[in-house]
Structure formats: structure tokens, C-alpha cells
Structure 1
Amino acid sequence: MTQASSLRSGMCILHEGDVCRVMTVTHRTPGNLRAFVQVRMRNLKTGNSFDHRFSSTEGVERAILDTVPMEYLYSDGEGHHFMNQQNYEQIVLSDDVLGDSLLYMLPNAVLKIDFYEEKPVGLELPQTVVLQVVETEPGMKGATASSSYKPAKMETGLVVQIPPFVEAGAKIEIDTRETKYLRRV
């Protein structure tokens, strides 16, 4: 058991029987009241995010996950196929397990799949990915790196706000945590 006050972003805990990944943690001590910890979590089984308030001294059970690097092979009607890099064993994951992560994945990418009690419960995306812009509005003449942005569709279907000087066909680096343009590659 871990105290709620020692929770950190990225930890996995058991909450109401489900494995959840902690996304944000805020410690609060309002006026005359006892301190509490406000936690934003994502249920790894359903993909839903929610907030929960713990007493700062409340015990929280950490979930021990096995993380296995696996190569994303392809998707078909059955699901999304991954191959274990060590023993070449293949598994099929559903949309429910992957959630929005699909928008950041290209075939042959090596990703870390999280297993809890030998069942896949989610995956860890790298902090950044490089994707190609397939559709965007044409850049305006004289456009500079100002605060104006335009929507762009990536090769995976992801839509990201990009600066006006980036054209279709360009490869860009994207922050997977915030779905944010970082730089042109």
C-alpha cells in the first residue's frame, strides 16, 4: 500500500477493482480542513478518464504491471496485431484497449504494451511521434511562425493544429501527451 500523498503522474493503481493510470496529481490543503489529493486517472480497461479525491493519508494499492516491448504489425477486422520482440509471439488488441493511441501508431513501430495478470490493459506511447501531414490548407504568403495555427490531418487520421508555414507532405513531430505540434522534421 502507498499513501495517496505519494502518488505521482504515470503510476498505476488499483481503484475500485480496476487498473488505473494516474495522469495528474494535485495536493490541496483548504483553510481549516484536512489535506487531500485530487487525482485525475484513466481506467486502462475502459479508457475513460475521471477525477477522484483521496485523503492525503489514505492507502492506495499500486498495480504491478509487466511492460513488454512489442512491434505493431497491422490492423484488420479481428483487431490490431502486435508481435513480442523477444519470442515472436503475436497478440491481437481491440480498439477498447488501445483507445486514442491508434491515432499515433504506424506499422512497424515498437511500443510498450502493459500487462496486468497476463492480460493486456494498455500501451505506453513514446513522448513524441513523427507523422506526415496529408491534408491541410495552403500556407499564406508571408506567413511566419506566429501564434496563428491551422488544422492538419495526419496519415493516421489525427488532426493537429500546425503553424501556417507547414505544407501537406511535410513530416512533423507531435507531442503525444498533449496532441501538440513540436517542430518540422
Structure 2
Amino acid sequence: MAYSMSDLKKGLKVEIEGVPYKIVEYQHVKPGKGAAFVRVKMKSFFDGRVLEKTFHAGDKCEEPNLQEKNMQYLYHDGDHFQFMDVESYEQIALSDEQVGDVAKWMTDGMTVSILFHNNKAISVDVPQVVELKITETPPNFKGDTSSGSKKPATLETGAVIQIPYHVLEGDVVRVNTELGEYIEKVK
């Protein structure tokens, strides 16, 4: 299916010259003189580059062949991350480069969403909120307060976040994976 200028909106996935993009910014411009047009910023699913493009009336772009699958993260074998399709039990291996920065939030057995373009994995998404155990953090000292100040903490996945002083080593915390920030201590 081809999208016309009037179909474009923020969040829409389009394909231009064989590359799938997600529209991250959309602006409809209607100048006083001349025809209206749409100016968009699109982020590539392949490399994360942002492309600015202007669409005029009559311009078309294609719908990409994208599939999203829920897969279970099994383990990292040193070179590749191993995933299993939760429906077909088919296993795939993705390189560190394909998985990207989300690897620091993944734990064995976690269900992740993998996006495929023409049957090739192009991105991995983890849940927005995950619960992880703190494996290392400095001890508290007398005079530390629970408001305002923060200290670094290493999580079970190796990621480092800032946490309040009242949270201790061994505690489980909720983390926002998009921002990489502490949300709360799990009771």
C-alpha cells in the first residue's frame, strides 16, 4: 500500500528507497501562496539516522514490510544474543550490533519485541519498565539523606544507574529503560 501526503502522521512507518523509517516529527505547512506540503523527520530503523523530507501533494511512499515478534531472550554466548520465538520455538542469533544499547536491560528469560524487515531482524525493544537486582553500590554513611542525593549502582545486567541512598546492594529496583533511570524500590 502506498501512503499519500495526507496519510502521513507521527509514528507512521514508511519505506523510502528500500529503507524503513518511523516518522518522529510531522508538520503540515499551508503557505499563503502555493500548495500545501508536509515536512517530516524520520528515523531509520537500520542505523538510527534522522532524515528530513518534504512531501508535496501527489508524492507517495510505500508501507514497509515489517513484522513484530515477541521473542524470549535466552542467553549471550559471547558473540551473539540468542532468542527464541515464543510461538514457533524457532531460535535466532543476533549480533551485539543488531541488539544495540538495549542489551544492558536484558535478563535471561525476558520477553522482548523484535522488529523484522523482509524477514531480517532490524531492532530489539525491551519493556519500558524492568525489575533488576542491584549487585554493587557503595555503602551508606551516617549523614546520608534519602532525599536529593544519589549514588551509582551496578545492576545484575552490568548497567549503571543513579539511585537514592536508602536503596542497598541486593535490593530489586524498577528501572525506566528509555531514560535509564531509577523509578522505585520493589517491595
- Give the deviation of 1:88 after TM superposition: 1.2
Q: Distance in 2 between matches of 1:86 and 1:5?
A: 33
Alignment of 1:137 with 2:138, yes or no, is: yes
Cross-structure match for 1:19:
20
- Give the deviation of 1:5 after TM superposition: 7.9
**Gaps in structure 1 of 5+ consecutive residues:** none
Contact 1:145 1:165 in 2 (8 A): no
Q: Distance in 2 between matches of 1:40 and 1:172?
A: 34
Task: Tell which structure's C-alpha radius of gyration is larger.
Answer: 2
Cross-structure match for 1:63:
64
- Give the deviation of 1:105 after TM superposition: 0.4
Residues 60 and 184 from structure 1, CA distance in 2 versus in 1: closer, same or farther, beyond 3 angstroms? farther
Q: Distance in 2 between matches of 1:159 and 1:32?
A: 52
Residues 124 and 172 from structure 1, CA distance in 2 versus in 1: closer, same or farther, beyond 3 angstroms? same
- Give the deviation of 1:172 after TM superposition: 1.0
Cross-structure match for 1:114:
115
- Percent identity over the alignment is 27
Cross-structure match for 1:52:
51
Residues 12 and 168 from structure 1, CA distance in 2 versus in 1: closer, same or farther, beyond 3 angstroms? farther
SS in 1 for 2:99: helix
Cross-structure match for 2:75:
74
Residues 179 and 37 from structure 1, CA distance in 2 versus in 1: closer, same or farther, beyond 3 angstroms? farther
Q: Distance in 2 between matches of 1:32 and 1:184?
A: 55
Task: Give the TM-score taking structure 2 as reference length.
Answer: 0.79
CA RMSD of aligned residues (A): 2.8
Q: Deviations over 1:61-116 (max 9, x none)?
A: 33231111111111113411111111211111111110011111000111121111
Residues 86 and 165 from structure 1, CA distance in 2 versus in 1: closer, same or farther, beyond 3 angstroms? same
Q: Distance in 2 between matches of 1:145 and 1:155?
A: 25
- Give the deviation of 1:19 after TM superposition: 2.6
Alignment of 1:99 with 2:81, yes or no, is: no
